[in-house]
Amino acid sequence: MHDGLIDTHCHLDAAEFDADRDAVFAAAKVGAGPSQADVPPVGGSEPGLRAWGANEVGAGPSQADAPPVGGSEPGLRAWGANNEVGAGGTAPVIAFVVPAVERANFGAVASVCRAYPGCAPAYGIHPMYVDRAHPEDLDALRDTLRREPAVAVGEIGLDRHVEPRDDARQAFYFVEQLKIAREFGLPVLLHVRRAIDPILKCLRETRVAGGIAHAFNGSRQQAEEFIRLGFKLGFGGAMTFPGSKRIRELAATLPLDAIVLETDAPDIPPVWKNGGRNTPADLLPIAQTLAQLRQLPLAEIAQATTRNARAVLPRLDRYLPTTGETR
């Protein structure tokens, strides 16, 4: 039994953490949630913060999904002026999955994962970086997977939101990376923004060893198809916004064994960080939000989502602390 949470998607190698990566990592391992100092005013900014705009990376909540802090919903405690942290209880983050986004940061991901216990690498070419990718990068990906103990191929997928984009180029690199994942027997970490049906079509044509649909924001039917194909669904910061009705309804009612937790740090900030930097320490209040939505104890959410992450990413076990070990 591993007591704690697993952040199945966080970019700890990102430049946003260069100044305080040690402290960010330590805060998540303590399991105390975000500090007051890390909660800027709603709409505030932070030097170096990736803006959610035309060039955004990830799948942050839409403006319609971001009501003012303090909004309410029946049965769910509001996030108030005191930045309250959801349902009671605490849990440390015991493992962090750190996906690459392009060949140029394969080395940075590997370095971070060597330096910080519990950090597990994944390697891949993100759809928003294919414009500067080259076919030989696929050979570099194979070489990296042979050398490095990766838990998945990722972050890969399709993005039909950002403009300008080259859909054919995205599709080429996505399908080729699915083939590589199949070649190495690895699951995949999927970026699925506004492209769920095309991605499902590719997955039916090129079968892989399951994986995670990161930042899932689709329909129940699409969720069920991912599950049928052996995937778990990633829920994170967007779930904390009261206006994210569909995401929250799915988080509350999908089978619990289909759900994993994530932050996508430093991106997709939760409601108490709206406009600020997301960190892995925010996984605790994200988990508490899921516990409230499902009306379950935090401990049950932690145990179930950790079990789910280990099931879909079997090579993650090598990064977990041994029984009784504090890392």
The pLDDT of residue 32 is 57
Residue 63 lies in a domain: no
Residue 81 lies in a domain: no
Residue 45 lies in a domain: no
| CB burial of residue 55 (10 Å; 0-12, 13-18, 19+) | exposed
H/E run at residue 204: helix 196-205
Distance CA 281, CA 310 (A): 20
Q: For each successive 10 residues of the chain (327 residues), what is the average pLDDT?
A: 90 98 95 48 30 30 33 33 44 97 98 98 98 98 98 98 94 99 99 97 98 98 99 98 97 99 98 94 97 97 98 98 59
In terms of C-beta distances under 8 Å and separation of at least 24 residues, what long-range contacts does 132-139 make, across chains too? 132/102, 133/102, 133/103, 133/173, 137/102, 137/103, 138/173, 138/176, 138/177, 138/180
Residue 165 lies in a domain: yes
The pLDDT of residue 31 is 74
SS percent in the chain: helix, strand, coil, step 5: 45, 10, 45
Residue 175 lies in a domain: yes
Residue 61 lies in a domain: no
Cis ω for the linkage preceding 99 (within 30 of 0): no
pTM of the model: 0.84
Per the structure, the complete domain to which residue 178 belongs is given by 5-32+90-319
The pLDDT of residue 3 is 81
Which CATH number is 15's domain given? 3.20.20.140
Residues 6+ positions from 242 with CB-CB distance below 8 Å: 67, 71, 72, 73, 76, 78, 248, 271
End-to-end CA distance of the chain: 15
The pLDDT of residue 34 is 57
Residue 231 lies in a domain: yes
Residue 60 lies in a domain: no
Distance CA 232, CA 312 (A): 7
Domain tally for the chain?
1
The pLDDT of residue 58 is 33
